[in-house]
Structure 1
Amino acid sequence: MRQMRCQPYERFDKFYEGEEFADALFTELVPWGKDQTFTGLTHGTPKGAHTPHGWGFLEHHEGFMQACSVWLDGVADGPGMWASTMNGVEQCGYGTWVQGKRHGYFALVKEGGTYIEEYETGELKRRIKWRKDKLHTKCSRCGMLFVPLANTAEEKFCRYHISKPDYDGRYPCCGALHAVNPRGCATSMHVEPLPDPPKGRRGGGRVSVFSFLDALCVLVPACFVSAMGCKGARNP
């Protein structure tokens, strides 16, 4: 599907310059729902001072993210995607929401396969197995499934803690308890697993400087690596 190969929205699309979003402003990590935060365009309504309205994505602290090209007064109402690592299960999906409910065809990716789902105003009508998933990989840092081609610096959906939790289960990087906020205090691009070294290769072999820098591009957020001249580094 085309949705898998591109970002769920473009922040500076002229669509958001219309009268409908004239009073919408960018906000980041504002509370929206229980244990959830929203990042994107919002405006004030009786529902709250920062009601999602425009592009943006919703995050649950236990590992769920929903990104949609259009939110209207707090409700998803357009094409987008979701990804989850809740309960230790990695899966994601692509489709369209209408007034907050899934409607039409969705692509569900889980357990190495892609399934086509059909919804009618939020009700699942059918699901069929489509094909083996060859696009997604698992982020080695946050654990979410992502498509490398759509992993750009414009939208940094990878959320992680800089430090591991201490003996009290608290992250020293931000002070959050793992049981309360395992989702992370920093954002960056997703990270692909490093390829395994060729079998039979022992220490002592020469590694080029360019190969070393390319590895850093995978391990270090792009905003730190781009200044080093790595191949493929993207400026945030």
Structure 2
Amino acid sequence: MADGAPKAVKEDPYSEIKAVLDQQMRHQPYERFDSFYEGEEFADAKFAELVPWGKDQTFSGLTHGTPKGAHTPHGWGVLEHHEGFLQACAVWRDGLADGPGMWASIVDGKEQCGYGTWMQGKRHGFFALVKEGGVYLEDYDNGELKKRIKWRRDKLHVTCARCGLLFVPSANTSEEKFCRFHLSKPDYDARYACCGALHAVNPRGCATSTHVEPVAEGDSTMAALAAMAALDLGGDSKQF
């Protein structure tokens, strides 16, 4: 190479995969009324909300009856654990996540989320993991993590000021409301007056709405949350 000549830029072998995952982050994980769900495969699926599915978990989305249960996930939907975990997937088949989607967690106060595709209930292929201000590219083979490499600094996600989950503002629309919170603080018995749940059993929340972005410095956090509540909670409170 001649002196002073620019160095060749090394081609990123994961560039196309990263572009797909980046777009997945910016949109909601599914569209309820997509024509895909009108096909024969999901002809008997009906909408169910907050039905039990697994220990301390509820499912909201399309379900049908199988030997596994009367409300077996089958179609689009979101699985929520009371302690602060959710998995939203565009396709569930007979109770197993089997398509593109995302997960998010605030367990132990550690905010993380990820995007990718499940196959028969297991992560398969490439996922984007977001945690501690960074984004990592993961490669799974039938549920087994094969590789994790650092991708980029995270500039997309913010932390919901109400429920603590990481979210991308462009995906925070009224069509799907993934923010789950309690309408009141726990009392001296560590029980929420709004729904009667113990904090140790159900800290994730009894109401749903869109996420609340952090307020600018100098603004009143309580005033901002109160204003959001007045707009969003008129008919959106959902009980476990």
Pairwise TM-score range, normalised by the shorter structure: 0.7 to 0.9
Give, in angstroms, the shift of residue 197 of structure 1: 2.7
Preserved contact between residue 160 and residue 186 of structure 1 (Cα < 8 Å) = yes
Alignment-mate amino acid for residue 232 of structure 2: C
2:186 paired residue number: 165
Deviation at 1:223, TM superposition (A): 3.5
The letter of the residue matching 1:107 is A
Residue deviations 1:76-99, cap 9 Å, x none?
Answer: 000000000012210000000011
User: Map of 1:50-65 to 2, 5 A cutoff?
Assistant: 50-65=71-86
Q: What's the Cα RMSD here?
A: 1.7
Cα distance in 1 for partners of 2:82, 2:123 equals 22
Corresponding residue for 1:202? none
SS at match of 1:220: helix
Q: Report the count of equivalent residues.
A: 210
User: Mind listing any 5+ residue stretches in structure 2 that lack a counterpart?
Assistant: 1-21, 235-240
Structure 1 unmatched ranges of 5 or more: 199-213, 226-236
1:127 & 1:219 partners in 2: Cα distance? 38
Give the TM-score, by structure 1 length.
Answer: 0.86
Which amino acid in structure 1 is aligned with residue 101 of structure 2? G
AA matched with 1:30 = V
Relative to 1, partners in 2 of residues 1:224 and 1:123: Cα closer, same or farther, differing over 3 Å?
Answer: closer
Give the match's secondary structure for 1:116: strand
What do residues 118-168 of structure 1 show as CA deviations (whole Å, max 9, x unaligned)?
A: 001111010000010000000011000000110000000000000000001
Instruction: Say which of 30, 43, 53 aligns to 1:22.
Output: 43
Q: Report the Cα distance in structure 2 between the residues aligned to 1:47 and 1:97, rounded to whole angstroms.
A: 20
What does 1:99-110 correspond to in 2, within 5 Å? 99-110=120-131
Identity percentage of aligned residues: 76
TM-score by length of 2: 0.84
Match of 1:228 in 2: none
Rounded Cα–Cα distance in structure 2 between residues aligned with 1:218 and 1:18 = 41
CA 1:220 to 1:37, structure 2 compared with 1: closer, same or farther past 3 Å? Answer: same
AA of the residue aligned to 1:70: V
User: How far apart are the structure 2 equivalents of 1:222 and 1:35?
Assistant: 30
Distance 1:163 1:36 in 2: 22
Give the AA of the match of 2:143.
Answer: G
How far is the alpha carbon of 1:220 from its aligned partner? 2.6
SS class of match (2:25): helix
Q: Which amino acid aligns with 1:223?
A: D
Contact 1:92/1:145 (8 A) holds in 2 = yes
The answer to whether residue 228 in structure 2 is matched with residue 219 in structure 1 is yes
- The separation in 2 between residues aligned to 1:134 and 1:167, in whole angstroms, is 39
**Preserved contact between residue 83 and residue 90 of structure 1 (Cα < 8 Å):** yes
1:179 pairs with 189, 200, 212, which one?
200
Report the residue type matching 2:37 in the other structure: Y
Q: Which residue of 2 aligns with 1:43?
A: 64
Q: Which amino acid aligns with 1:113?
A: G
Alpha-carbon separation, structure 2, partners of 1:159 and 1:111: 22
Which runs of structure 2 are paired with 1:15-164 in the superposition (5 Å)? 15-164=36-185
Structure-2 change in CA distance of 1:216 and 1:121 (3 Å)? closer
Distance 1:160 1:135 in 2: 23
